[in-house]
Homo-oligomer: A and B are copies of this chain.
Amino acid sequence: MKKYKSKNRLNPSEYIDGILKGDRVLLSRAITIIESNLESDKILAKEIVQAILPSSGNSIRIGITGVPGVGKSTFIEVFGKHLIQQGHRVAILSIDPSSQRSKGSILGDKTRMEELANLEEAYIRPSASGDTLGGVSNKTGETVLLCEAAGYDVILIETVGVGQSETAVHGMTDFFLLLMLAGAGDELQGIKKGIMEMADMVVINKADGENVRMSQMAKRQYQNALHIFPQSESGWSPVVSTASAIKNIGIDKVWNEIKKYKKLVLENGYFIKNRNHQQIQWMYNNINEELKQLFYGSTNIKSHLQTLEKDIIEAKISPVKAAEKIIGEFKNSFEKNSK
């Protein structure tokens, strides 16, 4: 086991025991290992995840998204404190694909959720997304498992709603919450296509003071908009409500709806069905990413693709034939390499 000792790493069992006891320091250090790209860390990470796997899963996983300015941090701070008052332990993972400066983010996050960060029952961590969507699923997905094994029973995964990570987060959560603002004109401007369809609940934040009337109007507008989508397999009809995180209005309503949702999907079997589906889908996503990596990772292939793109635009070759040609090259190179 000495091989793990590089870079001040502990034995796997120390991380595992620490996580299972709810030790925040060891949890954080284990997450760092999950996020690391060092080969030795990858081996260590796999051993830790494998060991805590049977202790994971006992939580409700909630995706929270909304564009910058919607008041996400304040919402999560107030919402998190409300959950802790109800006896829960809350882990908050935030994904910001636009920022790879993870140390900066940690500081930023702790500052912007100051009160929550000081509570023993809250664990706040920005989640490194890596360079790919696969990165979001794997690193954040495994971080969720670790947090659950450490005893956090509500997992909030926060994204900014303008990137590509929302689909990945939707694919790893039980409930998807969209924060919006009331405003004139095109209400959904800025939010990526398709996010509205994923929402189990839309909360119009900052519904206080002079904003109340406009928020009520926005609420009706969203209710109508959500109505045009076919019913979800979960049997749940998306809810729209108004809230003011800063005035602590409507926060309990959000949690009540999530509890109603959980009750419904536990009873109708969708909760387990969806979780199983997500886990298996996670494997397939990884397989498909790896397959692409095998192909597109080759420098030979890359330069040939450029030529083929040019030839296609100039109508020198059909797309079907171009694909066939390069797949043939790939098979050949694979066979040559393996000899």
Contacts and interface: CB of A to CB of B under 8 A. Distances in A.
Contact of A308 (B49, B283, B322): B283
Contact of A318 (B145, B308, B327): B145
B49 A228 contact: no
A190 to B, nearest CB: 8
Interface residues of A, number: 63
Contact of A49 (B56, B318, B323, B331): B318
A8 interface: no
A323 B283 contact: yes
Nearest to A338: B335
Count copies of this chain in the complex: 2
Interface in A304-333: 308-309, 312-313, 315-324, 326-327, 331
Contact of A46 (B292, B295, B318): B318
Given A279-B313, A280-B313, A290-B327, A49 B321 contact: yes
A190 B230 CA distance: 7
Contacts of A280: 309, 312-313, 319
Interface in A40-90: 46, 49-50, 53-54, 56-57
A320 to B, nearest CB: 5
B319 A279 contact: yes
Nearest to A55: B315
7 contacts: A53-B318, A56-B315, A142-B320, A191-B230, A193-B229, A283-B309, A283-B323
